[in-house]
A and B are shown apart, each in its own frame.
Chain A
Amino acid sequence: MSELLNTLMQDARVWQGHRHQQTTQPSELTGYQILDNQLGGIGWPKGALSECLQDVHGIGELHLVLPLMQRLTQADKTVFWLNPPQIPYAPALAREGVNLDQVVLVHTSDANDFLWTLENCLRSPVTGLVLAWPGKLASRDVRRLQLAAEAGSNVCILFRERQHAGQNSPAALRLELAPETNQALSIHVLKRRGSWPGQHCSLAMAHRADLSFQEAPRVIQGPWPDNRR
């Protein structure tokens, strides 16, 4: 019995508020030192869901997962993109060092197919990372996905809208993403397994458009006169 309890503590399944303990859950580092520190040196949990909540695309959300994607595709693990909202642009991915042979795009036509596909991808040993844009998900479905994620040992990141931040979710890690000044990405930890949430950090993301971090926005007024717009 005590062995069972110990296991529960070790895996951080029982949350101990009074004591912050280093847990031993399998995970992948995010590749951003600041964020890893905020997450207690854990990073993206493996065998569990992670959620990124954001309102708009193009705020650096892909660059957040890019270090992991580079690492996994180089190690011959497959990265699935499930129903991406736009086209992942191959030349840009190749430029960032992602092995495109290991990137598979999947498009599904309805919610049932989506859940089925995601479950299958999560259970397979070849999968390293699944990026999914689910659209609307009932919390029952999130639970189903969490169970599927536990069956495998992959990182699964769901990109959802910020309005779901209030919704109860069994995901192990929930991050709220928002743009900040200087093209930085502000990350608010809504939930993480085994410890207190509420951390906040800001990652410099200006390099995603080759802009130097310090540089104040260079205002280009030309080549058009203002009144023409």
Chain B
Amino acid sequence: MLWLYLHFPHLLLDHLRRDRENPQAMVIVESTGQRVVQACPEARNQGISASMRLKTAISLVPELAIVRAEADREARILEDQARWLYRYAAHISLVPPDGLLAEVSSLQKLYGGLPAVWQTVEQALNEHQLTAWAAIGHTPLSGRLLARAGTGEYTADKEHVLRALKQMPLSAAEFDDKTSTRLQRLGLNTLGEVFALPAPELARRLSPETLAHVQKIQGTRPDPRSPWQPPHTFRQQADFIQEIEHSQGLLFPLQRILSELEEDLCWRQQDTDTLFLVLRHRHEEDTRLRIRTAGPEHRSESFLDLIRLRLEQKPLRAPVISLALSVRRFLGREAPAGQDLLGETQDLNEAWHTLISRLQARLGELSLTRLSPQADHRPEHAWSATPVQQSHRIRQAIPAHFPRRPLWLLKGPQPLAEQPVAWLSGPERISGGWWDSQRVMRDYYIAQLKSGQLAWVFRDVQEGWFVHGWFG
């Protein structure tokens, strides 16, 4: 078995930097806020280095952007990386806080050799704008040690790996502090010298755990790793160092996230119709937006278009410190219908979705309605309006016979203010509604008013006269 280990030396920094249009000097400080943990290239050029005191760094670069390291945030970012790596490798395990382990010996045949595997991974790393130190080892731990030491090579040769390990200084071998000191006191300096010790002595004089560690590096003791399973949802987050005050500024990071979503959806061969966008503010409650498309969709441009419309409609309540986009609902993808071989005719179904989604995003979902007749005698209950949803686009069974009704129904009956000039037909008695206490007892007539309008008028049981519709 061969293991590819990816060590991300400054993952949080990479994550933050790629959502900025013009990178400036930035450092990550430890959670107590005393020392610099990671520094970006711009910061390093100006003389800042890791493990420098924060005060010194600020005096070197006054406009330094400072981010505090948080363990759970880093774990989340690491999982994001596992998500894309999963497209290339099946067996992945996470090594928090900054490592990923992938089993690659089974991939050699698929990709055509180890160099090809490496090339694929390197390309993906570049696409995601990540810095990673990689190494291949014959055990998970050997890969990890080599990667972290920065001496990783792409070789399937076990002897070669062992040689490299033997030259490794003890300090890089990740023994715990106590063991490390004891080994040094014994006069051992490299890992190779530890390997040379007889195993029973090592366990007896030091500890069984030390022996286990050494054997796991060498590969003489099993080191099972539980495989990581990709979640069934999509979630991406962008954190901002400087608060974003205008919705325009959100579009740049959103573009990246949405293109990742598109890639993810293409890879799953699925579509979605609902996106959840959460905007975090420093002092106020989060803004939660639900972006719906009228039909299944996977293209990032159309999502971006809808989000842009939504953001234009509603200005930001407060500056945004981070945004998270998640998708929980996935739909199977359908083959585009009605498309000819050359793709010259437009897909009307898709155009319909696009139009309806755009209108709904700007006007609100309730502004678009579709009508349908209902089985009721009372005119105001004989129709219903439902919000437009593509999924329920089933042809309704239309009853064979409808009585003559006007094309315009008034929103509520209006009192009849004048004597009609002509009575044309009637009466038609409509009586019902005793079952839901909206009793209707009316005699309907068709009458012509002085203005020339044909009105549908009724006289109710209290003998009042009302207009209920126009024959348009």
A residues contacting B by CB (< 8 A) are 55-63, 66, 76, 78, 85-96, 99-101, 103-109, 113, 116-117, 120-121, 124-127, 178-180, 183, 208-211, 217-221, 223-224, 228-229
User: Is the CB–CB distance between B359 and A117 below 8 Å?
Assistant: yes
User: Is the CB–CB distance between B370 and A89 below 8 Å?
Assistant: no
Q: Can you list 9 A-B contacts (CB < 8 A)?
A: A88-B409, A90-B372, A92-B406, A93-B407, A95-B402, A106-B367, A124-B354, A126-B348, A218-B423
> Chain B's nearest CB lies how many Å from the CB of A60?
7
Q: Do A88 and B425 contact each other (CB < 8 Å), given the known contacts A101-B395, A117-B363?
A: no
Most buried by A among B368, B383, B445, B455: B383
Across the interface, which residues of B come within 8 angstroms of A121, CB to CB? 355, 359
Render B229-272 as a binary contact track against A, CB cut-off 8 A, 1 for contact.
00000000000000000000000000000000000000000000
> Chain B's nearest CB lies how many Å from the CB of A147?
18
B181 in the interface, Cβ–Cβ < 8 Å?
Answer: no
User: Is the CB–CB distance between B370 and A103 below 8 Å?
Assistant: yes
Render B419-462 as a binary contact track against A, CB cut-off 8 A, 1 for contact.
10011111100000000000000010110100111110001000
User: Is the CB–CB distance between A125 and B371 below 8 Å?
Assistant: no
B355 partner, pick from A76, A88, A126, beta carbons under 8 A: A126
Across the interface, which residues of B come within 8 angstroms of A229, CB to CB? 419, 465
Across the interface, which residues of B come within 8 angstroms of A78, CB to CB? 352
User: Is the CB–CB distance between A86 and B408 below 8 Å?
Assistant: yes
> Chain A's nearest CB lies how many Å from the CB of B14?
40
A89 partner, pick from B356, B406, B427, beta carbons under 8 A: B406
User: Is the CB–CB distance between B408 and A58 below 8 Å?
Assistant: yes
Most buried by A among B355, B356, B445, B469: B355
User: Is the CB–CB distance between B358 and A120 below 8 Å?
Assistant: yes
B471 in the interface, Cβ–Cβ < 8 Å?
Answer: yes
B283 in the interface, Cβ–Cβ < 8 Å?
Answer: no
User: Is the CB–CB distance between A100 and B372 below 8 Å?
Assistant: yes
User: Is the CB–CB distance between A217 and B422 below 8 Å?
Assistant: yes
Across the interface, which residues of A come within 8 angstroms of B45, CB to CB? none
A224 to B425, CA, bound (A): 15
> Chain B's nearest CB lies how many Å from the CB of A31?
15
Q: Do A58 and B367 contact each other (CB < 8 Å), given the known contacts A105-B385, A117-B359, A125-B346?
A: no
Across the interface, which residues of B come within 8 angstroms of A106, CB to CB? 359, 363, 367-368
B472 in the interface, Cβ–Cβ < 8 Å?
Answer: yes
User: Is the CB–CB distance between B363 and A108 below 8 Å?
Assistant: yes
A26 to B368, CA, bound (A): 29
A88 partner, pick from B346, B403, B408, beta carbons under 8 A: B408
A100 partner, pick from B368, B396, B405, beta carbons under 8 A: B396
B423 partner, pick from A107, A180, A210, A220, beta carbons under 8 A: A220
B368 partner, pick from A90, A105, A124, beta carbons under 8 A: A105
B398 in the interface, Cβ–Cβ < 8 Å?
Answer: yes
B369 in the interface, Cβ–Cβ < 8 Å?
Answer: yes
A117 to B298, CA, bound (A): 24
Nearest B residue to A229 via CB reads B419
Across the interface, which residues of A come within 8 angstroms of B425, CB to CB? 209-211, 218, 220
B362 in the interface, Cβ–Cβ < 8 Å?
Answer: yes
Nearest A residue to B399 via CB reads A94
User: Is the CB–CB distance between B393 and A101 below 8 Å?
Assistant: yes
B287 in the interface, Cβ–Cβ < 8 Å?
Answer: no
Across the interface, which residues of B come within 8 angstroms of A61, CB to CB? 472
Across the interface, which residues of A come within 8 angstroms of B419, CB to CB? 229
A217 to B393, CA, bound (A): 43
A87 partner, pick from B393, B395, B409, B422, beta carbons under 8 A: B409
B407 partner, pick from A63, A125, A219, A220, beta carbons under 8 A: A63
Across the interface, which residues of B come within 8 angstroms of A76, CB to CB? 348
Nearest B residue to A85 via CB reads B408
User: Is the CB–CB distance between A104 and B348 below 8 Å?
Assistant: no
User: Is the CB–CB distance between A105 and B411 below 8 Å?
Assistant: no
User: Is the CB–CB distance between B388 and A104 below 8 Å?
Assistant: yes
B342 in the interface, Cβ–Cβ < 8 Å?
Answer: no
Across the interface, which residues of A come within 8 angstroms of B348, CB to CB? 76, 125-126
B383 partner, pick from A66, A90, A219, A224, beta carbons under 8 A: A90
A126 to B347, CA, bound (A): 9
User: Is the CB–CB distance between A101 and B355 below 8 Å?
Assistant: no
A64 to B357, CA, bound (A): 31
B404 in the interface, Cβ–Cβ < 8 Å?
Answer: yes
User: Is the CB–CB distance between A58 and B471 below 8 Å?
Assistant: yes
